[in-house]
Amino acid sequence: MLINYSANTKPIYLDYAATTPCDPKVLDAMLPYFCNIYGNINSLHYYGAEALEALTNARQQIANDMNVSIDEIIFTSGATESSNISILRTIERLKQCFFTDQTQHASIINIANRLQLLKQPVHFLKVNKEGLLDINYLESQLKENKGLVSVCLVNNETGVWQDIKPIVEICHKYNSLIHVDATQAYGKIPMDIKDLDFDFMSASGHKIYGPKGIGILYCKKSNQKYIRVPRSNPDIEFGIRAGTIPVPLCVGFAEASKLSHQCIDKELERLTKLRKLFISKIKNNLEEIYINGSETHTYPGIINVSFRGCEGESLMMEAKRIAISSGSACTSNKLTISHVLNAMGIAPDIAQSSLRISIGRYTTEENINTAVEDLTNATLKLRSISAVWDMIKAGIDINKRFERGIYKH
């Protein structure tokens, strides 16, 4: 049921990792292609040529932002489709093992589960307590079996930022391909794809203040043979994806990409200051506060914080002045402990008290102060009526109760 808020009482949006509002400049760039420049790119007349020119310009803009060739950019409906195309088709062609990190996004975990049902070998790669991929473990596995490795560059729940270049180098050392899930990274952190030497990369427009329903798949030209559909029309997305291309959305993605890449360094600096402000104030106000993930390898726009003694979902509902998440937008409606935090070895009572606060382009210092105040009051209220908090203060190891299933949802 939708709650009716006035314009002045709507909660502050702090869930930018789930989606972002469309930038007005992006909307302005798209509008002409809905009503005025509306041709089908496959039509040979003036209107088709006009639309094709717009699509080509959009593709070139994205290629420039990534430092890749224009014919290595494939438009899709979003990062999930991009990942499905690159992973499933490549594994089908090569019949090799699929490797992915234990903290991957649910959409990639679903691909792994599907491959297992198809009797394809799948291996989940270990991470350390900071959520960083165990490089030595990766190398030991690739020595045994080459295949396709999928790594989440910036984790959607914790913001952990993988040191991706040595991971790519190890993959290629053992003749393995690598797919990079850059859904939370594209347009937010510096990336020279030619230098990083990715084989495949997935991204979505709505994560960078662009429209929903559009994404890209970067595929190195030499690898397109693995994902091309046999007997497909090579004039439509290089024979990789069929259907009428949504030119307005492609133009929107390109404009969002351009705007985001123009201010990456400045925005990282601003978000880092806001992150530090939030963490210092919330820790100053409350005890037993834990920041989950790496302190040094992290994207500052995503903060995963645990309020020990409070159930994350209850805290989220109690903090009514802010709109936040209890984890990934794709799994936050499920009352289970995050597979990401579990893989990192976070204690169950810490994991189940976690929230994801994600900040972005329109977040202000005032918003952070409101969030700290709201979460402080909500935490104190919930702890005052929490038997779990009483046990924690009494020194009882409540994780033993988690193991026996007493506090499992």
Active site residues: 330
C-beta neighbour count of 68 within 10 angstroms: 20
Residue type, 90: T
Name residue 101's beta-bridge partners.
125
User: DSSP secondary-structure letter at 104?
Assistant: -
Token reading at 207: 């994560």
DSSP for 219-264? Answer: E-GGGHHHHPPTT--TTSGGGT--S---HHHHHHHHHHHHHHHHTH
Between CA 238 and CA 251 the distance in angstroms is 18
207, 186 contact by CB (below 8 A): yes
Cβ neighbours for 249, distance < 8 A, ≥ 6 positions apart: 30, 205, 211, 213, 214
160, 128 contact by CB (below 8 A): no
Between CA 230 and CA 232 the distance in angstroms is 5
Between CA 177 and CA 220 the distance in angstroms is 10
Cβ neighbours for 224, distance < 8 A, ≥ 6 positions apart: 238, 240
Q: Are strands 302-307 and 122-125 parallel, antiparallel or unpaired?
A: unpaired
DSSP for 321-335? Answer: TEE-BSS-TTTTTS-
Residue type, 409: H
